[in-house]
Amino acid sequence: MGRRPGLLALGWLASLVLVAAFAVMLTERWSTPSGGDAGDDRVADAQRTPASEQTGGAASSADAERDAPAVESADTRIVEAPASAGTAGAPTGDGRAESARDGGDDSDETSDRRVAESGEGGAPRIIPADPADGNDEATSSDGGRQGSGDLVNALSREGALGLVETARLSPRPRSQAVVDWCKQLEARVVGVSSPECMSDAYRDTGGRSVEGRPLIMREIAASSGPAAGRVLLISATHGDEPSSIGTVFGWMELMAEEGTRYDWRVAPTLNPDGVFHEPATRLNANGVDLNRNLPTPDWSEKSRAYWRRVGFEKRRYPGEDPGGEPENEWLVEQIRSFRPDVIISLHAPYGVLDYDGDFPAPRKLGQLDLNQLGVYPGSLGNFGARMNSIPVITVELDHARKPPGDAELERMWRDLNGWLDRYFSSVRQARADNAADSNDAG
């Protein structure tokens, strides 16, 4: 049967009419300044203060649209933005939004919780609401939160830009792997609280231990301005040293309270199989000491000679292949991708401060005094400082189970930051001197 040109043309015109009608509906939907129905209009009228009352005169329609309030819902909280010059009735103060929760504490360094500016001149800002605020939420089986009707209404008021920004800022569903990890840590480690741990800050990197446990990481950005440097912080290389984990969590709480000048990447449990073994063990699930297994020069020969020298002690077995354990493969990748300027590794229970690197060593960290022990085949100090020219601070706590008390944690943290400040100041000066020498040579 032949085609009928008339019918085809009629069908084509009908399709164009439908597309145009749909486009008009969408335009009206997103361009309505205060919502799309009478109920939304009543909410806006009840919450809005007329612009004329704020400024003492008649406000333009553009001002009224700009000043329309964002709607607070289970997924968002309204925080006032700082007043701009010449804006009447705008709030004063530094205007920074509430910072993202850091395991239960406020922190302003988490990049995925940054605040969206929804307007100019004192317009409200929207940030994700904390679960602790008591909003009713539906929770999925994997710990993620489902959207609500209030959020939809808020998005219709904010327009297409609000849709994009709110979607970007909405908290990521919590990984079940992170939830389980936090619960297990709370049961085993002094200084770790499961509710504080189960925040959006921690993530499953996809790396896995020998027994398939997740290698969890947290990234903390400098509190304000460009970071002065990058620091990699590691604990529980040996699973029977849980005080190292509690100390790291204590330092992260101090970062949340005081801020930080640096970008941090934190690996609280490098050896989860050792941490969660019954009983906890120094070695990973393959029976390998991870701090003797990193790929250092002449590893095959030197690691065997070292192991022979310590009487083939099982607790110091270096393994069969340099860097061949999955936990160390993951660690080497973190060093490669993050490119830290300094590495800090926590151990126990020798009660000393060790250091490998060219820059002058820290003399003290709280009550711990410097005692440089040297490097071993496959150790982090050897791999980081000798091979990659990254200073490595090894903190040997004096108790394997119990982390230091609050006062000692603060002293250690203050001393550590003092050394970091001196180190990065020296690095900046060296770079400036090199740049000056290059200009003179040119």
Alpha-carbon gap, residue 264 to 417, rounded angstroms: 13
Q: Which of 252, 215, 264, 256 is nearest to 237 (CA)?
A: 215
Domains assigned to the chain: 204-434 (3.40.630.10)
State CA 2 to chain mean position distance. 65
Alpha-carbon gap, residue 136 to 282, rounded angstroms: 44
Is the bond into 349 cis (omega within 30 degrees of 0)?
yes
Question: How does pLDDT run along the chain (442 residues), one tens digit per residue?
Answer: 444 555 555 666 676 777 677 666 655 555 444 444 333 333 333 343 444 444 444 444 444 443 344 344 343 333 343 443 443 333 333 333 333 333 333 333 333 333 333 344 333 333 343 444 444 333 333 433 344 454 455 445 455 555 444 444 445 556 899 999 999 999 999 989 888 788 778 999 999 999 999 999 999 999 988 999 999 999 999 999 999 999 999 999 999 999 999 999 999 999 999 999 999 999 999 999 999 999 999 999 999 999 999 999 999 999 999 999 999 999 999 999 999 999 999 999 999 999 999 999 999 999 999 999 999 999 999 999 999 999 999 999 999 999 999 999 999 999 999 999 999 999 888 888 777 776 766 6
Alpha-carbon gap, residue 401 to 184, rounded angstroms: 16
Q: Which residue in this structure is represented by tokens 């490119």?
A: 339
The amino acid at 243: S
Q: Which of 320, 279, 269, 255 is nearest to 102 (CA)?
A: 255
The pTM for the full model equals: 0.63
| Residue 147, CA distances (Å) to 83, 166, 383 in order | 31, 11, 47
Alpha-carbon gap, residue 377 to 379, rounded angstroms: 6
How many Cβ atoms from other residues are within 10 Å of residue 23's Cβ?
10
Residue 45: CB partners within 8 Å, gap ≥ 6? none
